[in-house]
Amino acid sequence: MAVNASPFFRRMMIWCVLTTIICFFFTTMDTTKWFDNSQLRGQIIYEFASWRTIPMNALEKMNEYLKLTDFKDFISLANITTSVINTRKDISYVRVGDEIRVDIVLYNGRGERFTVGGDMLRVWLREHSLRASVSGHVIDHDNGSYTGIVKVLWVGNPELMISIANTKEHIGIYLNNVHTYGLITFLKAGFERNKLTESTLCSVVPNIPDVKEYCNFTAQNFNMSFFCGKPINLSCSDWSVYERTDIHSCYKKHQSLFLQHKNFKKRVSTLNVYSGFNFIKGSHVSCHDLNSTVTWQTNNPTGYFYKGQWRSLVCRPSLRWRYESYLKCLKNRPVLMTGDSTTRNWFSPLAKLLNLHILVGNREIKDKAWQKFSEAVDNDTAISMYWTPHEIPFYSHEQNKNNFRSVASRIDELPGNKSAIVVLHWYGHLTRTTPEQYREHVQSAKKAVVRLLRRSPHSSIFIKGPHSYTYGIFLEPFDYLSRIFEQILYEEFKDLQHKVYYIDQWDATVGNENVHIHPTFPSFYQIMINFVFSFICKI
C-alpha cells in the first residue's frame, strides 16, 4: 500500500502547491482592469463588436467611400430584387428569444454579383396588428455578402424585413460633394444698407461655384467656419439676415441618385413565433439606478415596440408622465434643450404638461414651429426651461443673423451651484456638411459642458442620438452619416461618459419604419421624454 500511495500523495502535493501559486497570483495582481467597464467593455469589446449600438469603424471606411466619384448607371447599383436572401433556420417554428440570421448576397440590376461591401442594409421585424417592431443589425463581410441579425421578442407572426438603405455609390459621391463644396445644399446671406439689398450663397468652405470673393464670417459663427460670397455693391459688414436655399452642390445625375435610389425594402418572410410567454419583458433595472456609462455601451436592440409601447431593454423608466412628477423632478433645476426641431418637439409637450407659456422675447409662441431661442419659466413653481437652435449651418426661413448663438454660450449662461439639465443634439441640419464640421460643433459644446460640470457638478447631461427617417426629398445617406456622427460623439465624450448619458433613437425609429424627419408614431415624443428624465427622476 505504501509503495502505491507514494505517487498519489506526491501528485496531490504538487497539485496543492500549483493551486496555491495560482490563487496567490490572482489575489495579488490588479484585476480591476479586467472588470472595469470603462476599460474592458468600452475599449476592447465595445469598440469592435458589430452588435453594439454605437459603431466604431465608420470613419475608417471613409477613404474607401471617397474613391467612389461617379456611377455608370442605375442598373449597375445594388438591386434588392436580384439579390439573394436566405434565412439560416426554419422560420416556421420560432421561439421568443431566438435570433434570426439572414444571409444576403448583393447583385446589381444586371444580375452581376458584388464582390466588395459598403452598401448600407437594414433588417427588422414588424407586426402591424400588434403595433410591434424591433430593429436588428447587419454585418458587412466586405465581399458583397452580409449577415442580418434580429431578435424575436414577441409571440405572433412578425414579418422579416430587409432594405438597402444607401448604396455605396450614394455615400461616396455624397461625401466627395460635401468635402469639395462644404455643403450639399447652399445657404444664403442677405445684406442691407440704406434700403439697398443683396444676397449671396454661403457654405462652410470658400468654394462656391462662380463665387470669386468671400466674406469670412467664421468669427461671427463662434469660430466655426462659414463663408459667403462678397456682395457687389455692399460690404461684408452689411450682413443682416440668413436663410436656406434649394441650390445643391451636386450634379443633376447625382441628385437623381440621392433622391431615387435608396430605401428599397423587401419582405423576406413571415415568422411563426411560439413560446410559453407572449413577449420579452423590458429591463428590470431602473433607469434611475443606471450609470450613464452603460448608455454608451448598449447592444442592439436597445428596445422594441409592442402594442404601441416602447419596451426598453436598457433600463426601466421610473417616471410617470404627469404634472406632479415633473414638477417635483424639475423644481430648481434649469433645463436647456439644444439642437433642432426634434428637440423642440421634446420641449413643447413638456412645457404643455407643466402649464408653461413659451416665449420668444416678450411674445408668446403658439405656433407648432419656431426656430429662435425660447423660454418657458414659472417663478412660482421654480421651473425654468429653455430651447435653442445650434449654430450655422441651420436650414431655416429668413432670420436675423443674431438669432443664432453658439450652444456653448447658452450652456455658459446656466447658473452655478444648480443641478442643471442639458439635452444636446446635432443631426439633421449637419448631415448636409462634412464630418469635420460636425466634430467642430461637438467639441465647442463639450468644452462648455466641462465648464458647467466644474461650477455645477451635479448637473445632468444628455445627448440625443440620430434617428431614422426615410422621407424621399432628402439627399443625405443617413444610414452611414448617423454612424459617423455616433462615432464622433463617442470619441469626443469618451472621458465624460461617466457624467453624460447617450440616448439612442436609431433602433426605435428603424423598427417602426419612421418616414418623416419628425417621427409620427403615436406618443413617440412623450415616450422618449419620459425615458430620458427617468435617468434623473424617480417618482
Whole-number Å distance between alpha carbons of 140 and 134: 20
Q: Residue 521 has what pLDDT?
A: 85
CB under 8 Å to 538, separation ≥6 — which residues?
286, 288, 318, 319
> Strand 78-87 relative to strand 94-95: parallel, antiparallel, unpaired?
unpaired
- Tell me the angle at which helices 435-455 and 478-492 cross, rounded to the nearest 10 degrees: 40
CB under 8 Å to 443, separation ≥6 — which residues?
492
The pLDDT tens digits of the residues spanning 292-347 come to 999 999 999 999 999 999 999 999 998 999 999 999 999 999 999 999 999 999 99
Nearest Cα to 537, choosing from 376, 312, 317? 317
Q: CATH top-level class for 53-167+269-274?
A: mainly beta
Please name every residue paired with 189 in a beta bridge, in sequence order, or none if there are none: 200, 242
**CB of 184 within 8 A of CB of 177?**
yes
Comparing 53 with 147, the larger pLDDT belongs to: 147
Q: What is the mean pLDDT of residues 174-193?
A: 97
**CB of 435 within 8 A of CB of 483?**
no
Comparing 415 with 276, the larger pLDDT belongs to: 415
Q: Residue 18 has what pLDDT?
A: 44
Comparing 312 with 3, the larger pLDDT belongs to: 312
DSSP for 191-238 reads EEETTEEEEEEEESSS--TT--SEEE-TTTTTTS--EEEPPSSS-GGG
Unique residue bearing C-alpha cell 450663397? 201
DSSP for 260-326 reads HSEEEEEEEEE--EE-SSSB----SSBGGGS-GGGGGSPBSPSEEEETTEEEESS-B----SSHHHH
Q: Residue 49 has what pLDDT?
A: 66
Whole-number Å distance between alpha carbons of 521 and 512: 8
CB-CB neighbours of 472 under 10 Å: 9
The residue ranges of every structural domain in the chain are 53-167+269-274, 185-248, 287-534
Q: Residue 442 has what pLDDT?
A: 98
Nearest Cα to 486, choosing from 448, 435, 429? 435
* Band (98; pLDDT cuts 50, 70, 90): very high
- Residue 439 pLDDT exceeds 70: yes
Whole-number Å distance between alpha carbons of 350 and 205: 38
The pLDDT tens digits of the residues spanning 390-408 come to 999 999 999 999 888 999 9
Whole-number Å distance between alpha carbons of 171 and 479: 9
- Residue 34 pLDDT exceeds 60: no
> Strand 120-127 relative to strand 132-135: parallel, antiparallel, unpaired?
antiparallel
Q: Residue 522 has what pLDDT?
A: 82
Whole-number Å distance between alpha carbons of 106 and 164: 10
Q: Residue 32 has what pLDDT?
A: 27
**CB of 230 within 8 A of CB of 213?**
yes
Whole-number Å distance between alpha carbons of 345 and 369: 9
Q: Is 431 helix (H, G, I), strand (E, B) or coil?
A: helix
- Tell me the angle at which helices 252-260 and 168-181 cross, rounded to the nearest 10 degrees: 130
DSSP designation for 79: E
How many helices (H) and strands (E) the chain has is answered by 12, 26
Q: Residue 276 has what pLDDT?
A: 65
Query: Which H helix or E strand runs over 483?
Result: helix 478-492
C-alpha cell at 213: 470673393
Percent of the chain with pLDDT over 70: 90
Q: What's the CATH number for 287-534?
A: 3.40.50.1110
Q: Residue 14 has what pLDDT?
A: 45
* Band (54; pLDDT cuts 50, 70, 90): confident
23: amino acid identity, one letter = C
DSSP designation for 112: P
Query: Which H helix or E strand runs over 346?
Result: helix 341-353
Q: What is the mean pLDDT of residues 417-446?
A: 96
Q: What is the mean pLDDT of residues 510-528?
A: 91
- Residue 40 pLDDT exceeds 50: no
Unique residue bearing C-alpha cell 457638478? 457
> Strand 460-464 relative to strand 500-503: parallel, antiparallel, unpaired?
parallel
C-alpha cell at 413: 449662461
